[in-house]
Structures are given as C-alpha cells and as structure tokens.
C-alpha cells in the first residue's frame, strides 16, 4: 500500500482478519496471524451482513475470516484526505467448517454458531448424570459442521466412578474420543491440552452449567471467561452471554458459547449416520430399502431391538433426531421456494419498470 498513514483511524489492515466476536452492528477482529493481538472493532453495514465472494451477503460469525478494507485516504474524486471513512468488511472468506443450528429467526432458518473450527468439544457434566440424548444431539451437530467432535465429561471429582460413566457415554459416542476432566484437581486436562496445536480452532458446546467456561479458563491458563461461580457480592451469577473466541497457549483459539437449551438440528443425513452408525448399519440390513422399521418383514432394526442388541433409548433418540432433521429440511425447502417466487416477482417488476422508463 502506497498511501500515507491514515490521519485518524486505525492503520490499513494487513492481511486477513479473524472475527473473535460478532455483535449486532459490529465485529471484533484480530489479525489472523496474530490472534493474541488486541481486538479492534469494525462496524457492519446497516443490514448487519458481510459480502461473500459471490456477492451474496450473510451475517458474520465468530471464527470467520474476513478482509478488512480501509478506504483510500484520498477521496473517491481524488479531492483529498477523507479522514472519516471507517474500515469495513470487504469480503468473507469461504468457511472451511460451520457449526450450524436451527434458528427460529424469521429471516433465516439456520444460524452459524461458529465458523472454521477444527474441533467441537461436546461438554457434558458427570454430576448431575450426563444426558445421553443431549450428547447424541450435539454430536450430530458437530459431525455436520465438518469439524472433529470430542466429548468432554466434566466434574469427575464429584462422582465415585467417572471411568464407568465415561464408558456409558463412549458407548453412544461411536468413533469419538471421550475425556473425563476435573478442573479443581487438574485430572484429565493434559489430553485436551494436546489438542491445542498452533492454528487449531476449537469450540465448546453444551448445556449451561456444564463447565465450559471453567474449562476454557483452565486451558487458557487465565480467567478469560466469566464462570457460574456466585459473585462475591452475592448478587446473581456471571454467565457467558455471547460467543467469543479466545486465544489459548501456542496459537490455538477456542470459542466459548452460552449454554444452549435444546439446540435445533439442521438436516443432514450423513451427520445422523455418523452419530448413529450402529443404527445406520442395522437399517442397511433391512430387507426393504425404504423400511420404516415398523411391521415390515425382514427388519433388522426391529430384530436388534427384540434381542436387545439395540437399546430402545438409542433407537428412540435416533428416530426423534431424524424426524427433526426431516422437518427442518422440509421447512427449508418451503422457504427456498418462497424466496425464489419473491425473487422472480421482483425481477419481473424491475423489468417492467425499465421497459416503461425507456425513451
Ligand atoms: N467440582 C467441579 N466443579 C466444576 C468443574 N467445572 C466447572 N465446575 C463448576 O460448575 C459451575 C458452572 O461452570 P461454568 O464454567 O460457568 O459452566 P458453563 O455454563 O458451561 O460455562 C461453576 O460453579 C464451576 O465452578 C469441575 O470440573 N469440578
Ligand atoms: Mg459459560
Ligand atoms: Zn427396518
């Protein structure tokens, strides 16, 4: 860049920036190659969206990589310095992975909770008892993201047999590493620290109170996130209210998330098959390809339920998530069809206006 230093605003951005936090009207970014730098604020356009390379605009999210452009010091007409032109997000880099949840939002059906993460930590407490259905739901979410799921069972210090409980969870977390940890004793933290290689991005998901922020602080080695400890003045609690990406040791970064209550799944058969590989393998052995596992003859799923090879709880959980994913897919199809109709109507209207406007 040949222009002189900017007189007021920040220096022109050099290289891609990493979004460490996305708020309604602005993002906080750090240089992608210096994630421990102090974040700076870049205001968003009025629609709160950022452009993708194909021109479509989407809401930015934590973990996104963007190019920030600082307008030329000379004005557009070359008439001299324009000291007030703020930096803006010029383009969003394509997302390598995306952790997506169903959204009740009226303008979109899916919300990207975090982008470009490599590892999804599915955090669940051992006390009270872990909720296997919730683990299955979050694993499906994780598989769909394209990142690698890892289960972290917290509060091992509060139960007599953490290993036995971990084995029960591992039985429903096929192909996924399951770790038990205790932050107060430090037990089990080393295998997680081994995941924190330079450039690796992780996200912690799980219910409120599972110990996500406590774990993030332990991995960061300092108090980066507020946790559910009661405040000294006894008023209320500190809780995580927003998603935020924090730098850990060695250049790894981790996104803490607020406790998610009943995260809606977005459709993805592959993700369901990954989470429920056992059920999928059974279903593939049914006599009929489109077996509904009801009263069809030669149903391998019903057979496995009868012999106890497949647990009723596991089967019900799979059914529920599959139904939910199908429902989301249907809703998305309806929404896309409506958007396409609206787009055609607008194009037709613009065309007629242009025709009328012609001399
Ligand atoms: N005994 C014990 N308590 C923990 C552990 N991890 C977290 N906690 C406590 O659990 C509560 C919720 O933790 P927090 O990190 O805020 O949960 P979050 O909502 O998932 O972020 C806090 O009181 C923590 O001190 C642990 O390994 N052992
Ligand atoms: Mg928290
Ligand atoms: Zn069947």
| pLDDT tens per residue across span 36-45 | 899 999 999 9
Task: State how far the Cα of 45 lies from the Cα of 53, in Å rounded to an integer.
Answer: 16
Tell me, yes or no, whether 172 and 230 share the same domain: yes
pLDDT at 212 exceeding the cut of 50: yes
Under the banding of pLDDT at 50, 70 and 90, the label for residue 333 is: confident
Nearest CA to ligand 1 atom 8: 211
| CA dihedral for 301, 306, 307, 313, sign (positive or negative) | positive
pLDDT digits (tens, 9 = 90+) for 232-253: 444 444 555 678 899 887 789 9
Ligand 3 centre from 223 Cα, in Å? 51
Nearest CA to ligand 1 atom 2: 155
Answer for the pair 66, 93: CB distance below 8 angstroms, yes or no.
yes
State whether the beta carbon of 258 lies less than 6 angstroms from ligand 1: no
The structure tokens listed for 145 are: 């993201």
State whether the beta carbon of 157 lies less than 6 angstroms from ligand 1: yes
In a domain, 357, yes or no: no
Higher pLDDT, 126 or 358: 126
DSSP string, 120-189: EEEEEESSSPP-HHHHHHHHHHHHHHTSEEEEEEE-GGGSS-HHHHHHHHHTTSTT-EEEE--TTT-TTH
Minimum mean pLDDT among 21-30, 83-92, 183-192: which range?
A: 83-92
The structure tokens listed for 195 are: 């995941």
Ligand 2 centre from 241 Cα, in Å? 8
Single residue among 213, 230, 256 that ends a domain in this structure = 256
The structure tokens listed for 252 are: 């790894």
Query: For 81-94, what is the mean pLDDT?
Result: 81
Q: Give residue for tokens 């000291």.
A: 83
State whether the beta carbon of 209 lies less than 6 angstroms from ligand 1: yes
In a domain, 114, yes or no: yes
pLDDT digits (tens, 9 = 90+) for 198-209: 889 999 999 999
The set of residues, in sequence order, having a beta carbon less than 8 Å from that of 54 and lying 6+ positions away, is none
Report helix, strand or coil for 219: helix
Nearest CA to ligand 1 atom 28: 155
pLDDT in the model for residue 235: 45
Please give the angle made by the CA atoms of 101, 105 and 109, to the nearest 5 degrees.
50
pLDDT in the model for residue 233: 46
Which of 104, 99, 120, 106 is CA-nearest to residue 254?
Answer: 120
Backbone angles phi, psi at 110, to 5 degrees: -140, 145
**H helices within the chain, ranges in order?**
132-145, 162-170, 189-193, 212-220, 269-275, 277-283, 300-307, 312-357
pLDDT at 358 exceeding the cut of 80: no
In a domain, 262, yes or no: no
pTM: 0.86
pLDDT in the model for residue 260: 67
pLDDT in the model for residue 13: 52
pLDDT in the model for residue 130: 97
**Residue 43 belongs to domain spanning:** 17-94
Atom of ligand 1 nearest to the CA of 123: 20
pLDDT in the model for residue 1: 40
pLDDT in the model for residue 84: 67
pLDDT at 354 exceeding the cut of 70: yes
Atom of ligand 1 nearest to the CA of 229: 23
pLDDT in the model for residue 74: 52
Ligand 1 pocket mutation, candidates 211, 230, 232, 246, criterion most atoms within 8 A of CB: 211
In a domain, 340, yes or no: yes
In a domain, 171, yes or no: yes
Q: Give residue for tokens 């981790």.
A: 254
Tell me, yes or no, whether 167 and 287 share the same domain: no
State whether the beta carbon of 212 lies less than 6 angstroms from ligand 1: yes
In a domain, 351, yes or no: no
Ligand 1 pocket mutation, candidates 153, 219, 228, 242, criterion most atoms within 8 A of CB: 228
Which of 147, 152, 159, 160 is CA-nearest to residue 135?
Answer: 152
pLDDT at 6 exceeding the cut of 60: no
Ligand 1 pocket mutation, candidates 227, 230, 254, criterion most atoms within 8 A of CB: 227
The set of residues, in sequence order, having a beta carbon less than 8 Å from that of 359 and lying 6+ positions away, is none
**What is the number of the ligand closest to the CA of 280?**
3
State whether the beta carbon of 213 lies less than 6 angstroms from ligand 1: yes
Tell me, yes or no, whether 341 and 275 share the same domain: yes
**What is the number of the ligand closest to the CA of 230?**
1
Report helix, strand or coil for 257: coil
Higher pLDDT, 335 or 9: 335
pLDDT digits (tens, 9 = 90+) for 142-178: 999 999 999 999 999 999 999 999 999 999 999 999 9
CATH code for the domain in which residue 325 is found: 1.10.40.50
pLDDT digits (tens, 9 = 90+) for 296-307: 999 999 999 999
Atom of ligand 1 nearest to the CA of 230: 23
pLDDT digits (tens, 9 = 90+) for 14-36: 689 999 999 989 999 999 999 98
pLDDT at 7 exceeding the cut of 50: no
Rounding to the nearest 10 degrees, give the CA dihedral for residues 143, 145, 147, 150: -50
State whether the beta carbon of 259 lies less than 6 angstroms from ligand 1: yes
Give me the residues near ligand 2 (ion), CB cutoff below 5 Å.
212-213, 240
State whether the beta carbon of 127 lies less than 6 angstroms from ligand 1: no
Answer for the pair 34, 250: CB distance below 8 angstroms, yes or no.
no
Single residue among 36, 67, 94 that ends a domain in this structure = 94
pLDDT digits (tens, 9 = 90+) for 255-301: 998 876 667 777 688 999 999 999 999 999 999 999 999 999 999 99
Tell me, yes or no, whether 244 and 163 share the same domain: yes
Query: For 51-58, what is the mean pLDDT?
Result: 92
Query: For 74-94, what is the mean pLDDT?
Result: 70
Count: domains in the chain? 3
In a domain, 355, yes or no: no
Which of 277, 279, 335 is CA-nearest to residue 304?
Answer: 279
Nearest CA to ligand 1 atom 12: 209
Partners of residue 21 on adjacent β-strands: 28
Q: Above pLDDT 90, what percent of the chain?
A: 62
What mean pLDDT is reported for the chain? Answer: 86
In a domain, 107, yes or no: yes
pLDDT in the model for residue 19: 96
CA end-to-end span of the chain: 45
Tell me, yes or no, whether 319 and 210 share the same domain: no
Task: State how far the Cα of 154 lies from the Cα of 228, in Å rounded to an integer.
Answer: 14
Task: State how far the Cα of 113 lies from the Cα of 8, in Å rounded to an integer.
Answer: 34
Tell me, yes or no, whether 81 and 122 share the same domain: no
Tell me, yes or no, whether 156 and 237 share the same domain: yes
Single residue among 202, 229, 256 that ends a domain in this structure = 256
Q: Give residue for tokens 């936090």.
A: 21
Query: For 181-190, what is the mean pLDDT?
Result: 97
């Amino acid at each position: 860049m040949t222009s002189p230093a900017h007189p007021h605003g920040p220096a022109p951005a050099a290289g891609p920036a990493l979004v460490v936090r996305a708020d309604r009207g602005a993002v906080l970014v750090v240089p992608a190659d210096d994630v421990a730098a102090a974040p700076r604020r870049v205001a968003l356009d009025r629609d709160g969206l950022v452009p993708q390379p194909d021109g479509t605009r989407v809401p930015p999210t934590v973990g996104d990589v963007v190019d920030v452009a600082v307008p030329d010091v000379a004005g557009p007409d070359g008439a001299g310095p324009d000291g007030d032109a703020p930096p803006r997000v010029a383009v969003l880099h394509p997302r390598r992975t995306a952790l997506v949840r169903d959204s009740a939002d009226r303008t979109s059906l899916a919300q990207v909770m975090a982008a470009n993460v490599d590892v999804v930590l599915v955090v669940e407490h051992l006390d009270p008892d872990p909720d296997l259905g919730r683990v299955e739901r979050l694993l499906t979410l994780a598989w769909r993201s394209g990142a690698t799921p890892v289960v972290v069972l917290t509060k091992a210090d509060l139960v007599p047999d953490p290993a036995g409980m971990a084995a029960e969870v591992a039985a429903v977390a096929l192909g996924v590493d399951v770790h038990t940890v205790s932050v107060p004793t430090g037990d089990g933290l080393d295998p997680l620290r081994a995941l924190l290689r330079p450039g690796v991005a992780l996200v912690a998901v799980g219910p409120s109170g599972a110990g996500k922020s406590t774990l993030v602080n332990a991995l960061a080695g300092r108090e980066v996130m507020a946790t559910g400890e009661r405040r000294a003045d006894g008023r209320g609690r500190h809780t995580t209210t927003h998603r935020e990406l924090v730098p850990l040791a060695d250049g790894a970064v981790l996104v803490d998330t607020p406790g998610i209550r009943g995260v809606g799944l977005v459709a993805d058969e592959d993700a369901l098959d990954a989470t429920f590989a056992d059920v999928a393998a059974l279903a593939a052995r049914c006599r009929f390809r489109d077996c509904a596992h009801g009263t069809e003859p030669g149903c391998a799923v019903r057979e496995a339920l009868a012999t106890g090879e497949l647990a009723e709880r596991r089967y019900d959980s799979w059914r529920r998530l599959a139904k939910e994913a199908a429902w989301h897919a249907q809703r998305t199809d309806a929404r896309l069809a409506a958007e396409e109709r609206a787009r055609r109507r607008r194009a037709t209207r613009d065309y007629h206006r242009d025709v009328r406007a012609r001399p």
